[in-house]
Amino acid sequence: MPRSLDIHNAHPRLRIDKKAISRVITILDEHRAKFLGGCPDGELSLAFLTDAKLAKLHDDFLDDPTTTDVITFEGEPGFGVAGEICVSADTAGTYSKTNDRDFSEELTLYIVHGWLHLAGYDDLEPAKKRKMRAAEARAMKLLHAAKSVPDFTLKR
């Protein structure tokens, strides 16, 4: 049974396809055994934010007012809540331009990164970061094989 997914686009210039984003989560969930058992069951929230809004969350919850790419909040699986993934479309846009990467690919990677955090991956220590990067690569490979990287557009 597919999970309940709440997708919120709070970025005024970002265009998303909620069905395509839902497909990303479904594919990851279908392959959860490959990722430490996957994101816990329950409702998953996904928020697309501006740098300013994500920096405010970063400050409010982590006492760090700087911009970041992804913040993941663990949920309460016992109450049917897997967690929330908040991503910055602005940071994805800046990073993709600076590093000559596809914007849609970068923003999808941020979704994957948050899902992997909820699955139990960490990236604060070098060894754990290597495991996270390897899991990200496996997840992106699955999404590419399924032709399921959403087409995101960031309007000027």
- Was 123 annotated as part of a binding site? yes
Q: By the 8 A CB rule, do 89 and 48 touch?
A: yes
> Would you say 31 is a known binding-site residue?
no
H helices, E strands: number in the chain: 5, 6
Which residue, chain included where needed, has tokens 């919120």?
8
113 is in an annotated binding site: yes
CA distance 70 to 48: 10
| H helix intervals, 41-125 | 51-62, 89-98, 103-119
- The annotation places the binding site at 113, 117, 123
- The annotation places the binding site for Zn(2+) at 113, 117, 123
